[in-house]
Structure 1
């Protein structure tokens, strides 16, 4: 007996919520790459990740949804904000970061999106999967990650470790040639010999002027 596939013209409540969350995720993702404020981009990224977590909840993948919130929203975005603050990156509008290739970038983005949408629609045109609870539980996902996908999982952990080490190196101030060493090249302090010599020269010139 063939299962009757529901029509797209009469969506259910879950499908409507999924579409709304998807629209929020796409809109916030566009704002991430179009905003001129770096901190605002990070905050829009939080909204995008939250909408994705809501999509996972609608698809009955509760474990993936909470991992999305805990790791991406609670750790990755916070790490990005700390990286912005520690590296003293410009958070406002900067003309040096504008390459002037907005038209080319927009064309590439639209072409890529059209290609992906075409492939997905062509591959899943007649596919329909009912929302059955339990597919996104921790047991099934753990067995899949640590058996089938264990090598990509370890490679990703090494990549995150390298990014963390790079952030620590960039934030250090005792490295020669860094921000701190450049700042030390300023005028000497008041207690230095050169400062005392400058004062004595100034005093002698004042005395000569008085005579």
Structure 2
């Protein structure tokens, strides 16, 4: 006579599942703050917390490779690029009234619709799939890397070009703002200044 293996459901979660839920709530709260705050620097810092929370979620799902890719690429590169863009464009440190376009309800509607579609797709695709967190890892770094860079290499390259364009745009905007702050140059002013300097030197 063989005994059936004990099973657990939603009413008897494990410690890993509880930690996954708590980290998910913190990540969701950080993401909500990052898109609602009017301070651009604070939004970038809250984005760090959001992406770091996602990395922790990957670790809890025994996907260490994806977790470290999340930290190295998104936290270590994308957020740093955003902060450099904010510094180059001399974004205001405090509250910025320009950060609110006045289309909050439209943005909220689109966000809720996109979230509902994403949840529906994920639930429909993995309805009967369970991950054994106590067993051996389902995939290896080699398999994950091959799948990532064979089938998703074009989005990676497109993202790199997009980030480069964002950095170049920040540099162009900072130079334009500096030129506007200097004011228009008066014709002949530079020649007059040079003549004055030569006369001063002759004395």
Task: Determine if the alignment matches structure 1 residue 146 to structure 2 residue 149.
Answer: yes
Counterpart in 1 of 2:15?
A: 13
Counterpart in 2 of 1:85?
A: 87
Conservation of the 8 A alpha-carbon contact between 2:31 and 2:47: yes
State the Cα distance separating 1:4 from its structure 2 match: 7.5
CA distance in 1: counterparts of 2:73 and 2:153, whole angstroms:
19
- 5+ residue gaps, structure 1: 198-211
What are the within-5 Å matches in structure 2 for residues 190-201 of structure 1?
193=192
Conservation of the 8 A alpha-carbon contact between 1:60 and 1:133: no
Counterpart in 2 of 1:185?
A: 183
Q: List per-residue Cα deviations over 1:54-106 (Å, max 9, x = no partner).
A: 10111111121122112221221111111101111233333344322222322
User: Taking structure 1 as the reference length, what is the TM-score of the superposition?
Assistant: 0.74
What are the within-5 Å matches in structure 2 for residues 147-162 of structure 1?
147-162=150-165
CA distance in 2: counterparts of 1:164 and 1:41, whole angstroms:
18
Counterpart in 2 of 1:68?
A: 70
Please say which structure displays the higher CA radius of gyration: 1
Counterpart in 2 of 1:40?
A: 42
Counterpart in 1 of 2:96?
A: 94
Conservation of the 8 A alpha-carbon contact between 1:29 and 1:48: yes
Q: List per-residue Cα deviations over 1:154-184 (Å, max 9, x = no partner).
A: 333333333343344444x3xxxx2232233
Report the more deviating stretch, 49-58 or 5-14: 5-14
CA distance in 2: counterparts of 1:146 and 1:122, whole angstroms:
26
Q: How many residues align?
A: 189
- 5+ residue gaps, structure 2: 197-203
